[in-house]
A = this chain, B = another copy of it.
Amino acid sequence: MRPRNISVMLVDDHAVVREGYHRLLEKHEGITVVAEAADAAGAYQAYKSNNPDVVVMDVSLPGRGGIDAIRQIRQWDPNARLLVFTMHLSATFALQAFRAGAKGFVTKSSPPELLVSAVCDVAAGRVAICPEVSEAIARSRLQEDASVIDTLSPREFEVLRMLLDGRTAEEIAAAFNLSPKTVSNYHYAIKSKLGVSSDVELVLFGLRSGLVTLVEERKH
């Protein structure tokens, strides 16, 4: 019982990129893009007024992260079907997304058709995971380093991402609408769970687990 026509909402902070897969999806009959948003807040508003069948969203959004946006939307509509579409090839990210209520996870380096079929899958109520990610998840299950990070609660994970981005406690508190004290409590809880004792070790940990991505430049 798949809908004859699937309405899709796109969430991505990069206008050009959004424009790009807007065209890509619309070229396929049966898929119509009915709304777009550039950040978490906009996504929530747009979802409420457009009620799309599927939301295709990047998780690295400015302001409150995409994981948080997923939870927010799922809270308003527990049947919302969200497909995460991101450049991050990380088991950790994917697990966090699914825990928040996502129904699919596709990387941007996948072949274009895969995004289209993933949208159809999610619209039909199926779960869609691209091969790379399912492989990464399987592999991470074998390691314990990545599994430690999966013990973080969704909020803790979001705070961690902000911290690793170099934000101060005040900035994070403002972004999430929390007390600075709460943020520093999370900060402490994160360090405890991950078994590190300083911020430096925290970043180093994030580096190893792929949460921090370094743009490498080689001086030949």
Listed in ascending order, the chain A residues whose CB lies under 8 Å from chain B are: 13-17, 19-24, 38, 59-60, 64-65, 67-68, 71, 85, 87-88, 90, 93, 96, 107-112, 115, 139, 163-164, 166, 168, 197-204, 207-208, 212, 214-220
Within the complex, the shortest CB–CB distance from A143 to chain B, in Å, comes to 9
The oligomer's copy count stands at 2
A166 touching B204, Cβ below 8 Å: yes
CB contact between A202 and one of B109, B200, B218 (< 8 Å): that residue: B200
A80 CA / B14 CA spacing, docked (Å) = 27
Q: Which residue of B lies closest to A207 (CB)?
A: B214
- Which residues on the B side are within 8 Å of A85 (C-beta)? 16
CB contact between A216 and one of B15, B65, B202, B203 (< 8 Å): that residue: B65
A110 touching B65, Cβ below 8 Å: no
Within the complex, the shortest CB–CB distance from A6 to chain B, in Å, comes to 17
